[in-house]
Amino acid sequence: MLLIGCSASQRFGKEDKEKESGSRYERNKSYEDEPGNNNKALETVRQTSNGEIFNMYDLTAAHKTYPFDTIVKVTNLSNGKSVKLRINDRMPDYNPRIIDISYKAAIELDMLVSGIADVKLEVLKWGN
């Protein structure tokens, strides 16, 4: 059994670090020429390391080394809840945690408030 920490809060509100690391980009969908726009972004788009658009409501996760499209089962050891996730992103090397999960996964594991939990990580299917 492998005990690790995982965090849903790491992926949210860290836009400055994401820009520096280059793992995601932001695209401003607003148009400067549009009247009344005031040059405010209408939508922020984040791209994951494998090229798809990040959706916090998908059951996905980031890992330092696992291949993309690897399916893992993450179990919250404090309450026994588990969820299957697909690896679609990378974590920075300096991050001490082993996995970073989406908002939806944090809800499923009932760890949204704490943001960090001891979990068991099992590989169900290796990706490409």
Q: For 1-23, what is the mean pLDDT?
A: 46
Q: Across the chain, what does the average pLDDT equal?
A: 78
pTM of full prediction above 0.75: no
HSE-CB for 82 with a 13 A CA cutoff: 14
The reported pLDDT for the residue numbered 45 is: 76
The reported pLDDT for the residue numbered 35 is: 59
HSE-CB for 3 with a 13 A CA cutoff: 4
| Domain count along the chain | 1
Residue in the block written with tokens 């849903």: 8
CA distance 112 to 103: 8
How far does CA 75 lie from the centroid of its chain? 16
Assign residue 44 the CATH number of its domain: 2.40.40.10
Q: For 28-39, what is the mean pLDDT?
A: 54
Q: For 22-47, what is the mean pLDDT?
A: 56
Residue-range definition of the domain harbouring residue 105: 4-125
48-96 pLDDT, tens digit per residue, is: 888 898 889 999 999 999 999 999 999 999 999 999 999 999 998 888 9
